[in-house]
Chain A
Amino acid sequence: MGIEIEKPCVVELSNIAVSNTHGEDSPYFAGWKAYDDNPYDELTNPSGVIQMGLAENQVSFDLLEKYLEEHSEATTWGKGVRNSSFRDNALFQDYHGLHSFRAAMASFMEQIRGERAKFEPDRLVITAGATAANELLTFILANPGDALLVPTPYYPGFDRDLRWRTGVKIVPIHCDSSNNFQITPEALEGAYKEAESMNTKVRGVLITNPSNPLGATIERSVLEQILEFVTRKNIHLVSDEIYSGSVFSPSEFVSVAEILEARNYKDAERVHIVYSLSKDLGLPGFRVGTIYSYNDKVVTTARRMSSFTLISSQTQHLLASMLSDKDFTELYIRTNRERLRKRYEMIIEGLRSNGIECLKGNGGLFCWMNMSPLLEKATKEGELKLWNAIIHQVKLNISPGSSCHCSEPGWFRVCFANMSENTLQVALERIRNFVDKIRTHTLTAGSN
């Protein structure tokens, strides 16, 4: 019997490889493990963990499937044996991306904004998902050690996307519930000063509009203030509008693109928009991201950099076909909004009837739930303790606000668009039981 000596890898890997800036050790992902170990299924595992931590849109697949059924010729490569369109498509690696695809995306983005802004296909750069788009822009706009200002609470993935390989820092713009977590000029200045005090150069502000995790759009006046701020500081503005097509009421979303168009694109060179089909169309697997920039040099450089992360030409082809059908996209956008709104109202009502309030939201695939009254202690630890109970007792995977860098404990992001209505009812039922238990327990304790 031999002795097994574990040989350590004596050669070092890169600092990036051994750092944990990828962010996957955060509690945000621990909930997923609970789900993976015991996933809910309506029939086979009705007591399993319900996944409410995944901002996926599964409410409108039928519309897409119907479209494909009716247009299968256009979306595949055609039926002919000697058909060369497969060949041309398989060979197409031009980093500009298929023109038809870019034109279709530009048109789709215009439709979402009610034609209140124009998008030129030649300013669209393609990337494999918004994950890549955000990282790529960061590489272009900032040097290692520089900072981007990001309002809290924010999407946990930003810690990886903006920082990991780029070496760029995130300095938070603190927002709180006193004004519904809106970004204020004071908070912007505060963040800028904080960076300065750390001797860190600020390169830009990155906003998500509508916001993840808040599920609310940024008001026009606030957008104008942010634009004024970045102009004054001579820095960039990245607007991640990945949920723009998921705003329940079309008139409530104001894109930075509209504001720029209204002022004839004055100072627009500092503004860049990120978009993706992962949320609005529910196609995260297809890796469809785009960068739209009003800055020529950024467009050129981003395009070159997109070599590392292009969209499969097969997928570009499919989507070019689908998204250029304006009747279809109009129907889709309208129907999707309506269904999301219904879901939202269902969950808000269900929570409210249990005495749980949420931030007033108007878009996205989730609601921002306030459970601070249920905290034992109004601290991050208190929040995590409650969260643990929710995962292991209530068996719901929801996302704690602390993983989104929220400065106030007790808030949770709850996704509602990645399950059937039945499952949502089951989730609401479980929450009701849990809240009842806590309240009874509190009453009992208090009556002593």
Chain B
Amino acid sequence: MVGLSSKSYELLSKIATNDKHGENSPYFDGWKAYDRDPFHPTKNPQGVIQMGLAENQLCFDLIEEWLKKNPKASICTPEGLHQFRDIANFQDYHGLPQFTSAVAKFMSKVRGGRVKFDPNRILMSGGATGANELIMFCLADPGDAFLVPTPYYAAYPRDLCWRTGLRLIPVHCDSSNNFKITREALESSYKKAKDDNINVKGLIITNPSNPLGTSLDRDTLKSLVNFTNDNNIHLVCDEIYSATVFDSPRFVSVAEIIEEMDDSSCKKELIHIVYSLSKDMGFPGFRVGIVYSYNDIVVNCGRKMSSFGLVSSQTQHMLAAMLSDDEFVDNFLKESSRRLAKRHEYFSKGLEEVNIKRFPSNAGLFYWMNLSSLLKEQSFEAEMALWRVIINEVKLNVSPGSSFNCLEPGWFRVCFANMDDETVEVALNRIRAFVIGKEKTTKKNNNNRAKKNNNVVEVKKRWQQNLRLSFSSSRLLDHHETVMSPHILSPHSPIPASSPLVQAT
């Protein structure tokens, strides 16, 4: 067939041939392992459990019920068919008015009605992936930089930098204060960038944070607004997880902060919000990305740019109906929160039982887990080694902290909202057994050295039954298969690059 050899013909752009799409990093063993051997409760109970995907699967029953009761929301049903041609024909980049209104209302409800959003400031884009890229195209030129607190979403380099030509300047956060962003860290990164003659155009934060699963407290958020204002740079707040807050402190959006400040103390035109329905509603397939800007020029130019990633009018139409159903939305938000809280609590408690200290998180679809005590040494090589064991032996696809540019080794992001209760149980059992096993090995080594009397209590824990996995935690995998599928980036592809379909020369 065609295209077997591109040797004679390599004339592609720099963007096409560089690595900034992010898929060449070594983090994809996890996906490959899952793909080769996916867990299934009955058909493949020893398979790899997918915990690298930040999806929200807890509330589809509520949505399906609503769809059944509202056939008019679909243009394919007998009840909705009469709207087909008008919707199919509608390509106006302002979006369906009922859609932008419904989204504005939804965003307001997620914030407890404490702020109102103007539908005319809502821009559509191809998922939050498209939205983040779009806002960067509007705010910065190639070579410019944005500050971003670590640890951060693994796909930011692709989304913010790949085609825009921007660079990211990390603002380092660490566990000493639960990875909170400090003014000192900000100032320090900013100053260093300026000293290096880098043109910093803004700061981007994810609130609630991925991978931390925490929302910013009011004071910190206010200080970020002040910092960016004082320095005349932009502030982009990715609030994609805003409705996944399940515990106090309640979510504080940047929209609330600037509402409190008057015009003389806050330059609103520097503030921009990115949003999406992929996490809060569990609709990543529908590609609903939103840019909300308080800057008129950005709205104007961004709207034209949204031509490159509009939301399908069919989807706009359905979501307009769904999100403007107040009763449904109120109930959904409440119930979703409750189920996330329950899942999170169950998971946290389960980990505490094996002394994995609870990280204080109140949001998100994942758990930020500290396994540094299990590292051979406090290094990223050790983290990778541990990670490979977790994938290949414990058979859990989790995401290592280094993939989020975390400064400290030993942290792992573990997604828990993309599975049912039974699978959570299996996953927890495996983690607990693994940790215990590691502890025993470590203790054994210590004992052999110290020759102390052990007071090891043989506790028969229920989770140690039926485990046919054998761990040899000292075994390291040092061969390194590179696979092209970024499970931690979304959207993504599960097909590994060794498939002839995607072989890139």
Taking the closest CB of chain A, its distance from the CB of B332, in whole angstroms, is: 14
- Does B88 interact with chain A (Cβ within 8 Å)? yes
Contact of A24 among B8, B201, B304, B503 (CB under 8 A): B304
Contacts of A77 in B (CB 8 A): 67
Contact of A300 among B14, B60, B502 (CB under 8 A): B502
Taking the closest CB of chain A, its distance from the CB of B166, in whole angstroms, is: 10
With A and B bound together, what is the CA distance between A288 and B15 in angstroms? 24
Query: Are B137 and A314 within 8 A (Cβ)?
Result: no
Contacts of B284 in A (CB 8 A): 90-93
Known contacts A93-B285, A303-B502, A312-B314; 19 further A-B pairs (Cβ under 8 A)? A11-B270, A13-B297, A16-B137, A58-B85, A65-B85, A69-B78, A86-B63, A90-B286, A93-B278, A139-B16, A143-B13, A165-B308, A260-B2, A269-B3, A287-B311, A296-B504, A298-B16, A309-B308, A309-B309
What are the 10 tightest A-B residue pairs by CB atom distance, in nearest-first order? Answer: A285-B313, A313-B285, A312-B312, A93-B491, A284-B91, A93-B284, A265-B2, A309-B126, A75-B76, A92-B285
Query: Are A313 and B286 within 8 A (Cβ)?
Result: yes
- Does B158 interact with chain A (Cβ within 8 Å)? yes
Q: How large is the interface on B (under 10, 10 to 19, 20 to 34, 35 or more residues)?
A: 35 or more
- Does B283 interact with chain A (Cβ within 8 Å)? yes
- Does B259 interact with chain A (Cβ within 8 Å)? no
- Does B1 interact with chain A (Cβ within 8 Å)? yes
Query: Are A298 and B12 within 8 A (Cβ)?
Result: yes
B94-127 interface (Cβ within 8 A of A) = 126-127
Taking the closest CB of chain B, its distance from the CB of A140, in whole angstroms, is: 4
Query: Are A90 and B60 within 8 A (Cβ)?
Result: yes
A241-295 interface (Cβ within 8 A of B) = 260, 265, 268-270, 278, 282-288, 294-295
Query: Are A301 and B232 within 8 A (Cβ)?
Result: no
- Does A413 interact with chain B (Cβ within 8 Å)? no
- Does A380 interact with chain B (Cβ within 8 Å)? no
Query: Are B81 and A95 within 8 A (Cβ)?
Result: no
Interface centre among B78, B159, B295, B493 (most CB of A within 10 A): B493
Q: How large is the interface on A (under 10, 10 to 19, 20 to 34, 35 or more residues)?
A: 35 or more
Contacts of A141 in B (CB 8 A): 11-13, 16
* Contact A58/B491 with A296-B6, A301-B16, A312-B315 known, Cβ cut-off 8 Å: no
Contacts of B142 in A (CB 8 A): 144
Contact of B88 among A16, A135, A285, A297 (CB under 8 A): A285
Contacts of A328 in B (CB 8 A): none
- Does B478 interact with chain A (Cβ within 8 Å)? no
With A and B bound together, what is the CA distance between A296 and B310 in angstroms? 27
Least CB separation from B301: chain A residue: A17
Least CB separation from B300: chain A residue: A17
Least CB separation from B304: chain A residue: A22
Contacts of A131 in B (CB 8 A): 307-308
Contacts of A312 in B (CB 8 A): 285-287, 311-312, 314-315
What mask results when residues 481 to 505 of chain B are scored 1 for a CB within 8 Å of chain A, else 0? 0000000011111110000011111
Contacts of B312 in A (CB 8 A): 128, 285-288, 311-312, 314-315
- Does B185 interact with chain A (Cβ within 8 Å)? no
Contacts of A304 in B (CB 8 A): 21, 23
With A and B bound together, what is the CA distance between A79 and B130 in angstroms? 33
What mask results when residues 373 to 387 of chain B are scored 1 for a CB within 8 Å of chain A, else 0? 000000000000000
